[in-house]
């Protein structure tokens, strides 16, 4: 449970598309890394060394001070058995905690129901971006969704309606083929009005906000600034969700992956600087994850879908460092060319739900899984 008198807040940043684990936290001292990645490998002299064996991608420079001051935990080898290596199915598993069947309830939708069982606050959970993420969905549980807080409310009745229509259309387009249009419409019918009604309140957040921190003009930085604004407006929001991508680096990986991590690192660094400036970061923890890692060997231009990945947990309440073990890269230990996960993602969730949010994780993630002690 959180060691703070304030309600604990969880921010989830989804790295959509399959972030390349081995080029994010780079095993620069392992000769197999050079052997496997003659094209996309990062030269050792460019790696931002964290210790004698691994280091950050050079574009992650803004996050290195966060790690060095002990506010960032690296969770190695995150995943689950028998990974399908499909974007949609893998993300669905992460969102619903159902690796063996198609899930219909999001893990954070369940968490929202536990936090606010009587639906007293339509802003308990807020999603930033042009979508309703399945992790947040549960029939009857409202989630406020807003695409862009900067222009929300500037043209009353117009921009809001466009954002609402886009959010609902995206959700229906994405999930109807998988769970059926009936299930999608049932969800939207039960929660749609509440979900979007909450967003109306959010337009007041920028009016209450003042900061000397200059966020970059990037999509992810704008989302994180919006989260900071809502958090500082004291609406009682406990869960925030946003995403960035796509990290699907089959080709031209160098420039693509560099830019993605530059934008994420600068945005996340600005976000935590903003919270620190205002003295409101002591009850905020951020999770960054991707639906899978990528193959150990490059394909001559990029990397293909893999299995084991890396996650990050950041914030003042975090006990920084490295957790779990970096998976073996020996050829005989690879499965279908992938490093093998050694920490179940549901254990990652369980730590955050129980040791941070103060909830019973078992019914929310569908079982009992190993937790790691990366929270104060």
DSSP 91-105: HHHHHH--SSS---S
- Nearest 5°: phi and psi at 235? -85, -5
pLDDT for residue 322: 98
The neighbouring-strand residues paired with 323 are 75
Q: Which of 364, 360, 371, 358 is nearest to 8 (CA)?
A: 358
Yes or no: say if 235 and 123 are a contact pair by the CB < 8 Å rule. Answer: yes
* Cα–Cα dist 190/61, whole Å: 44
- What CA–CA distances, in Å, run from 204 to 94, 207, 281? 32, 5, 21
* Cα–Cα dist 202/200, whole Å: 5
Yes or no: say if 274 and 223 are a contact pair by the CB < 8 Å rule. Answer: no
pLDDT for residue 153: 41
pLDDT for residue 267: 98
- What CA–CA distances, in Å, run from 115 to 104, 120, 231, 237, 357? 19, 10, 17, 10, 9
pLDDT for residue 154: 33
pLDDT for residue 168: 60
Q: What is the strand order of the sheet 25-26 is part of?
A: 25-26, 55-56, 48-49
198-220 confidence digits (pLDDT tens): 566 787 888 889 999 999 999 99
Q: Identify the segments of the chain with pLDDT beneath 50.
A: 2-3, 153-158, 175, 179, 190, 193
pLDDT for residue 179: 47
pLDDT for residue 323: 98
- Token couple for 227: 């989260």
Provide the sign of the torsion angle of the four alpha carbons 210, 211, 217, 223, taken in this order: negative
pLDDT for residue 166: 66
What is the pTM (predicted TM-score) of this model? 0.90
232-243 confidence digits (pLDDT tens): 999 999 999 999
Contacts for 156 with CB less than 8 Å, ≥ 6 apart: none
* Cα–Cα dist 74/70, whole Å: 11
Which H or E run includes 333? none
The fold adopted by the segment(s) 9-365 is Alkaline Phosphatase, subunit A (3.40.720)
User: Helix 181-202 and helix 159-179: axis angle, to 10°?
Assistant: 150
* Cα–Cα dist 130/138, whole Å: 18
Q: Which of 37, 34, 224, 193 is nearest to 128 (CA)?
A: 224
Q: Which of 143, 129, 137 is nearest to 196 (CA)?
A: 143
- What CA–CA distances, in Å, run from 32 to 22, 28, 87, 299, 328? 11, 9, 27, 15, 10
């Amino acid at each position: 449970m959180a060691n703070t008198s304030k309600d604990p807040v969880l921010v989830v940043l989804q790295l959509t598309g399959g972030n390349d684990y081995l080029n994010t936290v780079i095993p620069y001292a392992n000769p197999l890394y050079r052997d496997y990645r003659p094209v996309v490998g990062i030269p050792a002299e460019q790696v931002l060394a964290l210790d004698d064996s691994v280091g950050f991608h050079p574009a992650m420079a803004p996050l290195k001070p966060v790690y060095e001051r002990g506010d960032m935990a690296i969770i190695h080898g995150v995943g689950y058995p028998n990974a399908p290596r499909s974007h949609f199915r893998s993300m669905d598993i992460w969102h619903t905690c159902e690796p063996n069947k198609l899930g219909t309830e999001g893990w954070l939708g369940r968490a929202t129901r536990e936090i606010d069982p009587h639906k007293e606050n339509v802003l308990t959970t807020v999603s930033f971006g042009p979508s309703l993420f399945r992790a947040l969905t549960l029939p009857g549980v409202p989630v406020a969704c807003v695409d862009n807080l900067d222009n929300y409310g500037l043209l009353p009745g117009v921009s809001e309606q466009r954002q609402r229509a886009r959010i609902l259309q995206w959700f229906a387009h994405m999930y109807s083929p998988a769970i059926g249009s009936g299930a999608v419409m049932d969800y939207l019918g039960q929660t749609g009005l509440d979900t979007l009604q909450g967003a109306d309140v959010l337009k007041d957040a920028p009016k209450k906000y003042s900061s000397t921190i200059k966020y970059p003009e990037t999509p992810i930085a704008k989302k994180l600034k919006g989260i900071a604004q809502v958090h500082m407006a004291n609406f009682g929001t406990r869960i925030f969700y946003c995403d960035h991508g796509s990290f699907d680096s089959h080709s031209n990986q160098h420039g693509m992956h560099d830019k993605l991590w530059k934008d994420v690192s600068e945005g996340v660094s600005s976000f935590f600087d903003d919270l620190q400036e205002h003295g409101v970061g002591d009850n905020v923890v951020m999770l960054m994850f991707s639906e899978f890692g990528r193959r150990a060997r490059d394909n001559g231009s990029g990397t293909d879908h893999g299995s084991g990945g890396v996650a990050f947990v950041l914030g003042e309440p975090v006990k920084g460092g490295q957790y779990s073990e970096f998976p073996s890269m020996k050829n005989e230990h690879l499965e279908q060319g992938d490093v093998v996960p050694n920490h179940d993602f549901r254990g990652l969730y369980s730590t955050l739900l129980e040791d941070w949010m103060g909830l019973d994780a078992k019914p929310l993630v569908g079982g009992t899984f190993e937790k790691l002690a990366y929270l104060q």
